[in-house]
């Protein structure tokens, strides 16, 4: 007895649609919606009595076409108004160095908006003296990676 009967394939495609949609709802990252659509197309094709090869082909074709042609558009417009998290908003901001920053000595602290952060210099051998101002280049874990702000 062949395990992949037309009824079994319908159930498989339908389960795949549901599973992929649940994953999409949980992640909300536009990761599986394209494959859910491909599974739905394969399910609909299975209702016509088409073979497994045709079903698999339509699943792949629809999934890939949607992924290639709609994902860039969706990423551009769907999460367009995403707000930066607190730490992401620090990049490019000016902070005041409260403890001498020295990567060699593993020391350094800076304050932004009343909150103190561990700070390190962008340059491996760079130092920034306490009282100076620095610009946040990036964040690694809980450390601000900064460069000394040029005085104008």
Q: Are residues 94 and 56 in the same domain?
A: no
What is the residue range of 133's domain?
88-148
Count of the separate structural domains present in the chain? 2
Residues 13 and 64 reside in one and the same domain: yes
In a domain, 55, yes or no: yes
From 42, 77, 112, the end of a domain falls on 77
Question: Does residue 103 belong to any structural domain of this protein?
Answer: yes
pLDDT of residue 73: 78
Give pLDDT, residue 30.
Answer: 77
CA distance 84 to 12: 40
Q: What is the pTM of this model?
A: 0.51
Indicate if 13 and 68 belong to the same structural domain: yes
Q: Does 11 map to a domain?
A: yes
**What tens digit of pLDDT does each residue of 50-95 get?**
999 999 999 999 999 998 988 777 777 765 555 555 667 788 999 9
Decide if pLDDT at 1 tops 50: no
């Amino acid at each position: 007895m062949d395990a992949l009967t037309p009824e079994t394939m319908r159930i498989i495609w339908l389960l795949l649609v549901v599973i992929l949609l649940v994953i999409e709802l949980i992640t909300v990252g536009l990761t599986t919606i394209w494959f859910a659509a491909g599974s739905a197309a394969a399910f609909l094709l299975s209702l016509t009595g088409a073979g497994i090869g045709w079903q698999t082909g339509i699943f792949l074709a629809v999934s890939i076409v949607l992924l290639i042609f709609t994902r860039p558009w969706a990423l551009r417009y769907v999460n367009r108004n995403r707000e930066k998290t607190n730490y992401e908003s620090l990049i490019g901001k000016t902070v005041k160095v409260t403890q001498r920053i020295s990567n060699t000595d593993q020391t350094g602290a800076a304050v932004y908006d009343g909150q103190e952060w561990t700070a390190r210099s962008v340059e491996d051998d760079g130092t920034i003296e306490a009282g100076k101002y620095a610009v946040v280049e990036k964040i690694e874990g809980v450390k601000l990676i900064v460069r000394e702000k040029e005085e104008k």
